[in-house]
């Protein structure tokens, strides 16, 4: 990683100066805005992500494809996730983290809407599912990378754990809400159009988070870009 070699670990600060790593510490020392933005981004992204992951095979079948083709569409979401996450890791070493994550979310939202329009067409559905998988996993990798950017070491694991936990709430709610909407007569394309909107909101949260991270005092942020 091209970091300087250490002969020994740095000494711990005196006990009285160590900050308690609790949820309250995520809202101290100017961290409140960044914490709330990170929570919102994780919630919104996982809301869209788990809808696509849970409902895509079923909705493709509802749109006229066979059960086997529906399962294939769901598998493609995951396969390209490996490619997308790896590619994101390569790009983020050279490009701005915030802008790259926001662009990935924007492309995912557009692809989600396009997938809704193409649910009855086999080739287009598979191609767009592959695209969604790559960019949505890349977006997730980008959010994970924000924790070291906005949190000091003393609260970093607490901050990341709470962000993921808030995101899991979105992961639970998304499939349930989709089921309710289907029971009320929504068609598959309309669901994909609707679930693209939280991804757009997540993009806005990431851009605001990027500005917030860049505004933090020097010394706390080591990789705001």
Number of domains in the chain: 1
Helices 97-117, 188-215: inter-axial angle, 10-degree rounding: 170
What is residue 19's predicted lDDT score, i.e. its pLDDT?
Answer: 53
**Two structure tokens written together for 134:** 């790559």
Give pTM, 2 decimals: 0.80
Domain containing residue 190: 27-215
Query: What residues contact 141, with CB distance under 8 A and at least 6 apart?
Result: 85, 88, 89, 92
Q: Are 186 and 63 in contact (CB under 8 A)?
A: no
Assigned domain for 9 exists: no
Assigned domain for 221 exists: no
Assigned domain for 209 exists: yes
Assigned domain for 2 exists: no
Assigned domain for 220 exists: no
**Two structure tokens written together for 136:** 């949505």
> Per residue of the chain (225 residues), what is the pLDDT tens digit?
677 888 888 787 666 555 556 888 888 878 899 999 999 999 999 999 889 888 877 777 776 667 777 777 777 777 777 777 788 878 877 888 889 999 999 999 998 899 888 876 777 877 888 888 888 888 888 888 887 888 888 888 889 999 999 999 999 999 999 999 989 988 888 888 999 999 999 999 999 988 876 655 433 443 444
Assigned domain for 111 exists: yes
Q: Are 77 and 52 in contact (CB under 8 A)?
A: yes
What is residue 1's predicted lDDT score, i.e. its pLDDT?
Answer: 67
Assigned domain for 7 exists: no
What is residue 65's predicted lDDT score, i.e. its pLDDT?
Answer: 66
DSSP secondary-structure letter at 218?
Answer: B
Helix boundaries (H) for 21-155: 32-62, 67-92, 97-117, 122-150
The CATH number given to whatever domain includes residue 168 is 1.20.1250.20
Q: Rounded to whole angstroms, how far apart are CA atoms 193 and 211? A: 28
Assigned domain for 65 exists: yes
Query: What residues contact 78, with CB distance under 8 A and at least 6 apart?
Result: 53, 133
């Amino acid at each position: 990683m091209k970091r300087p070699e250490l002969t020994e670990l740095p000494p711990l600060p005196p006990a009285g100066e160590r900050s308690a790593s609790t949820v309250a510490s995520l809202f101290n020392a100017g961290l409140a805005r960044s914490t709330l933005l990170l929570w919102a981004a994780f919630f919104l992204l996982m809301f869209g992500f788990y809808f696509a992951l849970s409902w895509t095979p079923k909705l493709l079948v509802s749109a006229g494809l066979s059960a086997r083709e529906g399962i294939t569409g769901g598998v493609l979401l995951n396969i390209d996730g490996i490619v997308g996450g790896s590619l994101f890791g390569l790009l983020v070493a050279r490009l701005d983290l915030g802008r790259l994550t926001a662009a990935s979310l924007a492309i995912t939202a557009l692809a989600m809407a396009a997938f809704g329009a193409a649910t009855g067409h086999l080739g287009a559905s598979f191609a767009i599912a592959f695209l969604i998988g790559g960019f949505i996993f890349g977006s997730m990798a980008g959010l994970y990378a924000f924790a070291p950017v906005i949190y000091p070491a003393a609260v970093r694991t607490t901050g990341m754990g709470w962000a993921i936990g808030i995101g899991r709430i979105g992961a639970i709610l998304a499939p349930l809400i989709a089921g309710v909407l289907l029971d009320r007569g929504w068609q598959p394309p309309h669901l994909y159009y609707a679930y693209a909107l939280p991804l757009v909101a997540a993009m806005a949260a990431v851009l605001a988070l990027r500005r917030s991270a860049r505004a933090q005092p020097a010394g706390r942020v080591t990789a705001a870009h």
